[in-house]
């Protein structure tokens, strides 16, 4: 690309550092969720990691569309955009579904409901399938659940990836100030999503799970990230003064600590937290962290640490595989208990993650030759 877009020129922080810090946010998010599923007794509120994932996804997706609009003289080819996303996401997702389905059948552990969960995951409607079948998210901590239960979040994101770019393209074609229109639309629809979630719980229309799985509610967190992307594209110099960056860095550090504290101290169901809009508040805290990560400072340095970046770059395969392995490698199936069981689950999960990353994700993204060269240069960091 010959010129920098507004989103790229938003800060004098090196772009490599920005990317590393954003990968680090992914690493934090997936770490919270995976540890919750491994040891809910130690991190009962780790599910707030999804409220970290969603704003980052909204931010990155919106920035991609804005960059394409900038570099193609105002044109956004939605079909090409969706095909790129499909190429990036579908192969690893479908490979996991096929592999886990075969393991369940061959192992004789296929259960009623697994077929519906698998089909809805193929169609990226798993969250609505679970709501329609009254699947309680928090039941996973006390009873056998489908190895596909975690795929609700990918369904929410894909539904957003289909709908939101259309809204953005319409805004950029028809509005006199498209970035302002995108920002205002993001804020307005996010507010509606927050209100919708509050009404569901306060009016007695549903419980925590009905809010947790709902695209209309969780979309508010995705749109919070979208609003940040539009704001930073429209005002590239925002928060670039030394004083503003320092204040943003302090605020982001406090948000990181608050998210960590929440993930450790929240009750596993946390119905009051959800009823009071806590997921959206976590999303706003994440927006502050994202903004700081693109401006430099202590938070950016922390998030760019190699272990967090390693987790972040592999978070997709890690997220895909961790729950099926935890659901299938149990005390009953393995004969292991306590930390022996947890260790076995971790080892198998990371083995599956590395295999998925190098055999599926990287070859499709960069080609077989480039993947082999990358592996040969640094196999230790696989």
Lowest mean pLDDT among 91-105, 135-149, 204-218: 135-149
In the block, residue with structure tokens 């804020």? 187
pLDDT at 146: 86
Rounded to whole angstroms, how far apart are CA atoms 183 and 181? 5
Residue 377 has pLDDT above 90, yes or no: no
**Residue 196 burial (CB count, 10 A):** 16
Summarize pLDDT for 218-229 with one digit per residue, the tens.
999 999 999 999
pLDDT at 1: 35
pLDDT at 255: 98
User: Within a domain: residue 356?
Assistant: no
* Mean per-residue pLDDT, 258-271: 85
Could you tell me which of 308, 300, 172, 167 has the C-alpha nearest to residue 233?
Answer: 172
pLDDT at 372: 62
pLDDT band of 87, cuts 50, 70, 90 = very high
Summarize pLDDT for 353-372 with one digit per residue, the tens.
999 999 999 998 866 666 66
Close Cβ partners of 261 (under 8 Å, ≥ 6 residues apart): none
pLDDT at 32: 97
User: Within a domain: residue 93?
Assistant: yes
User: Within a domain: residue 278?
Assistant: yes
pLDDT band of 108, cuts 50, 70, 90 = confident
Give the best-scoring range by mean pLDDT among 106-110, 209-213, 271-275.
209-213
pLDDT at 4: 34
Judge contact between 124 and 154, C-beta under 8 A: yes
The length of the chain, given as a count of residues: 382
Summarize pLDDT for 119-149 with one digit per residue, the tens.
999 999 999 999 999 988 877 666 667 899 9
pTM of the model: 0.90
pLDDT at 124: 97
pLDDT band of 74, cuts 50, 70, 90 = confident
pLDDT at 156: 98
Judge contact between 210 and 134, C-beta under 8 A: no
CA 250 and chain centroid, separation: 24
User: Within a domain: residue 104?
Assistant: yes
Total number of domains constituting the chain: 1
Q: Which pair of tokens denotes residue 257? A: 């600590």
Residue 216 has pLDDT above 70, yes or no: yes
Residue 245 has pLDDT above 70, yes or no: yes
User: Within a domain: residue 368?
Assistant: no
Domain that holds residue 66: 15-315
User: Within a domain: residue 132?
Assistant: yes
Give the best-scoring range by mean pLDDT among 3-17, 129-143, 267-281, 317-331.
317-331
* Mean per-residue pLDDT, 51-68: 95
Could you tell me which of 76, 66, 10, 51 has the C-alpha nearest to residue 181?
Answer: 66
Phi-psi sector, 380: left (phi>0), alpha (psi -120 to 50), beta: alpha
The CB-side HSE value for 71 (13 A sphere, CA atoms) comes to 14
Average pLDDT score, the chain:
89
Could you tell me which of 356, 361, 309, 350 has the C-alpha nearest to residue 38?
Answer: 350
Judge contact between 193 and 216, C-beta under 8 A: yes
Judge contact between 290 and 239, C-beta under 8 A: no
Close Cβ partners of 1 (under 8 Å, ≥ 6 residues apart): 71
Positive or negative, the CA dihedral 313, 355, 47, 60 is: positive
Lowest mean pLDDT among 13-27, 49-63, 286-300: 13-27
User: Within a domain: residue 267?
Assistant: yes
pLDDT at 72: 77
* Mean per-residue pLDDT, 258-282: 88
What is the share, in percent, of the chain residues with pLDDT greater than 70? Answer: 89
* Mean per-residue pLDDT, 330-349: 94
pLDDT at 8: 38
Judged by DSSP in three states, 42 sits in coil
Judge contact between 371 and 379, C-beta under 8 A: no
In the block, residue with structure tokens 């920002």? 183
Rounded to whole angstroms, how far apart are CA atoms 46 and 266? 8
pLDDT at 315: 97
The CB-side HSE value for 360 (13 A sphere, CA atoms) comes to 23
In the block, residue with structure tokens 């030394």? 242
User: Mind giving me the DSSP string for 223-241?
Assistant: HHHHHHHHHHHH-TTTT-S
What's the distance, Cα to Cα, between the start and end of the chain in Å? 29
Judge contact between 114 and 147, C-beta under 8 A: yes
* Mean per-residue pLDDT, 95-112: 91
User: Within a domain: residue 73?
Assistant: yes
Rounded to whole angstroms, how far apart are CA atoms 14 and 151? 34
């Amino acid at each position: 690309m010959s010129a920098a877009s507004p989103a790229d020129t938003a800060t004098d922080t090196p772009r490599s550092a920005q990317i590393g810090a954003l990968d680090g946010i992914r690493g934090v998010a997936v770490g919270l969720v995976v540890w919750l599923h491994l040891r809910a007794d130690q991190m009962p509120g780790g599910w707030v990691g999804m409220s970290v994932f969603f704003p980052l996804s909204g931010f990155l997706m919106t920035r991609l569309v804005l960059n394409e609009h900038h570099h193609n003289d105002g044109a956004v080819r939605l079909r090409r955009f969706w095909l790129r996303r499909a190429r990036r996401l579908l192969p690893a997702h479908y490979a996991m579904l096929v592999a886990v389905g075969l393991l369940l059948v061959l192992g004789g552990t296929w259960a009623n409901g697994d077929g519906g969960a698998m089909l809805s995951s193929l169609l990226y409607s798993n969250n609505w399938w679970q709501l329609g079948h009254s699947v309680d998210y928090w039941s996973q901590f006390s009873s056998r659940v489908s190895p596909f239960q975690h795929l609700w979040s990918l369904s929410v994101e894909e539904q957003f990836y289909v709908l939101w770019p259309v809204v953005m393209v319409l805004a950029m074609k028809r509005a006199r100030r498209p970035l302002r229109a995108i920002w205002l639309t993001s804020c307005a629809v996010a507010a509606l999503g927050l209100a919708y979630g509050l009404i569901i719980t306060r009016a007695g229309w549903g419980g925590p799970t009905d809010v947790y799985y709902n695209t209309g509610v969780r979309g508010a967190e995705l749109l919070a990230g979208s609003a940040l992307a539009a704001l930073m594209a429209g005002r590239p110099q925002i928060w670039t003064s030394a004083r503003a960056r320092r204040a943003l860095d302090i605020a982001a550090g406090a948000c990181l600590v608050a998210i960590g504290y929440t993930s450790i101290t929240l009750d596993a169901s946390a119905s009051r937290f959800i009823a009071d809009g806590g997921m959206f508040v976590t999303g706003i805290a994440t927006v502050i962290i994202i903004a700081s990560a693109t401006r430099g400072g202590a938070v950016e340095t922390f998030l760019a640490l190699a272990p967090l970046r390693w987790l972040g770059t592999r978070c997709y395969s890690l997220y895909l595989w961790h729950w099926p392995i935890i659901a299938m490698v149990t005390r009953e199936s393995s004969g292991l208990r306590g930390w022996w069981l947890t260790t076995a689950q971790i080892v198998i999960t990371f083995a599956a993650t590395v295999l998925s990353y190098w055999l599926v994700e990287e070859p499709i993204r960069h080609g077989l030759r480039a993947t082999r060269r990358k592996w040969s240069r640094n196999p230790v960091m696989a």
